[in-house]
Structure 1
Amino acid sequence: MITHDEVRARSAAADDTYPLLTLDEFFDGNAQEDSIAPNQWGFGRPPLAEIARRLRELERDDAVAWVRVQLHEETFEDSVEDVLAEGVAVCTTLDERVVDERLDAEELQYDGAFEGFVYDEQAFTQVPAVPEGYRVLSLVWD
């Protein structure tokens, strides 16, 4: 998992924008269950490992160009030392409903895919190219 210091350094190098993280950067070695969907952890949300498994499976689909973790703005507050996710971005040609069905939105307890990023796109850095015919959907847990 990427460290908090590495995230802050990447952000500072890109005019304090939020770097999008790969699934490996966010999930590999991450044992902090409340780093994503903290309000659902302990209330039926599957463990991080299961969320990562499903996202990786989706990312292998030919209709998906990339999947990235969108960081929570609190990650950049001075009092926070953790890497926290606000949501997940999926660059795809798939319909929101199809993404929700494949990931099982109800079981993962996210609010359903919607078009766009969780914050203005300009808030992010290291955004991969969006191929023609694809769009970005976001998954968020509230």
Structure 2
Amino acid sequence: MIALSTLKKILERNEERLPLLTLDDFFNGNTAEDSIAPNQWGFGRPTLSEIWNMLQKIELLPNIAWVRVALHDDTEIVENDGTEELVLAGDTIVICTTISPAELEKIVNCKWLYSDGVIKTKLNAYSCVPSIPKNFDCLEIVWD
């Protein structure tokens, strides 16, 4: 999971705009099951480790440039016994690809994810957006 100090530096350099996080920066060491799609956790949504495993496989497909986690505004730094802690809140999964939204819904199995589907997106609100190759679109796996 991204280090608190790293996130603070990113926010400072990018006028407090939340970054798109790599899969490792969001999932590695993250044990807060409700940190993404919290309304579906406990109601059938797969575990974080299952989602991470599936997304790592998706990222290896030849028609995928990259996969990132978009953070929700509920991401916050809280104080716990005098120590600052990062509370990540994932909003969507962003996939840069040449695949159509309908096809990506099948590939990622939105039903299994308890997702509401895949939509095209613009990434103007985020920092740390990787380059988007020519003829690629950014699609989001969305919940709620």
When the two structures are superposed, what TM-score results if normalisation uses the length of structure 1? 0.91
Matches within 5 A, 1:1-142: 1-76=1-76, 81-117=86-122, 121-142=123-144
Instruction: Output the CA distance in 1 between the equivalents of 2:33 and 2:90.
Output: 11
Q: Write the letter of the residue equivalent to 1:133.
A: N
Higher helix share: 1
In angstroms, what is the RMSD of aligned CA positions?
A: 1.7
Structure 1 residue 77: deviation in Å? 7.2
Instruction: Output the CA distance in 2 between the equivalents of 1:81 and 1:24.
Output: 15
Name stretches of at least 5 consecutive residues in structure 2 with no aligned partner: 80-84
1:113 aligned counterpart, secondary structure: strand
Instruction: Output the CA distance in 2 between the equivalents of 1:83 and 1:108.
Output: 19
Moved over 6 A (4+): 77-80
Give the percent of matched residue pairs that are identical in Structure 1 and Structure 2. Answer: 38
Structure 1 residue 4: deviation in Å? 3.8
Structure 1 residue 139: deviation in Å? 0.9
Instruction: Output the CA distance in 2 between the equivalents of 1:93 and 1:21.
Output: 21
Structure 1 residue 9: deviation in Å? 2.6
Structure 1 residue 122: deviation in Å? 2.5
Contact in 1 for aligned 2:2/2:26 (Cα 8 Å): yes
Structure 1 residue 7: deviation in Å? 1.9
Q: Deviations over 1:47-97 (max 9, x none)?
A: 001111111111100100000000001114778940110111000000111
Instruction: Output the CA distance in 2 between the equivalents of 1:98 and 1:58.
Output: 13
Instruction: Output the CA distance in 2 between the equivalents of 1:108 and 1:91.
Output: 19
When the two structures are superposed, what TM-score results if normalisation uses the length of structure 2? 0.89
Higher strand share: 2
